[in-house]
Amino acid sequence: MYVPNHFDESRTEVLHDLIKQHPFGMLVTHGASGLDANHIPFELNPQQGEMGVLNAHVARANPVWKDVSDGDEVLVVFRAADAYISPNWYPSKHEFHKQVPTWNYMLAHAYGRITIRDDERFVRGVVARLTRTHEASQPAPWKMTDSSKEDIDTMLKAIVGLEIEITRLVGKSKLSQNKEVRDIRGAGETLKAQGDRMIGDAMLACADAKSA
C-alpha cells in the first residue's frame, strides 16, 4: 500500500483500536490455488506476540484452510470508514479553482503468519469470545448456552479456526492532511452534515491538531 508521510498512521495502539472497533476484515491469501480473499470477523488479542494475534474461524466447507499451510504469510485488511470529498467543500476552491475530487479513508493492513487450528477447544473459545463481544450491546445478549449442547457441538464441527500472528502493521488515515486547515475543516463539516460522521469527525480533529 502506498502511504505518503502525511497520511501515515504507524502507532500500534491506534491501529489496534481500529481493528477492535472494525473487526470485519478481508483475509488475503496466496495459497496453492492462487490469490483468494475471504471476509470474516476477527478477534484481536493485543497481548499475544510482539504485535498481537488475530483469531477467526471459517466454514469447514471453505477451501481456504486447506489451500494455505502453517507459516504462510497472509494479509488482513481492516477498513474503518471512507467518504468521497468534493472540491466544492474546500473554501480555497472558490478562490483559486485548483482543487480536484478525492476519496478519504482510514484503514489498517495486518501482515502475519497463519496457523490452522482445527481443534474444538480453540474454535469454541473464538466463537464464545466473539459472541460475548458483539452481543454485549443487546438488551438480552445471546449466549452459546441458549442453544442445545447438541446444536452447538454440531456447529463447532462445521468450522475451522485460524490464528494469525501479526508481524507488521501498516496504517493509512487519508484525511486531507495535505490541505489548508480551512479546507480540512470545510470538508469535515460538510461530511458531518450529510451523515458521514466518522470521517467528518476525524477530519475536524485533524484540522484542530494542524492549527494548534
CATH number at residue 73: 2.30.110.10
H or E stretch covering 187: helix 181-193
Is there a domain that residue 201 lies in? no
Q: Is residue 159 part of a domain?
A: yes
- Residue 78 scores a pLDDT above 70: yes
How many domains, the chain?
1
- Closest to 100 (Cα-Cα) out of 2, 157, 183, 13: 183
Residue 198 inside a domain? The answer is no
Residue-level pLDDT at 69: 96
The 10s digit of each residue's pLDDT in 139-183 is 999 999 999 999 999 999 999 999 999 999 999 999 999 999 999
In angstroms, what CA-CA distances link 6 with 133, 146, 177?
34, 49, 6
DSSP conformational letter for 139: S
pTM of whole model > 0.85?
A: yes
Is 193 a member of any domain?
no
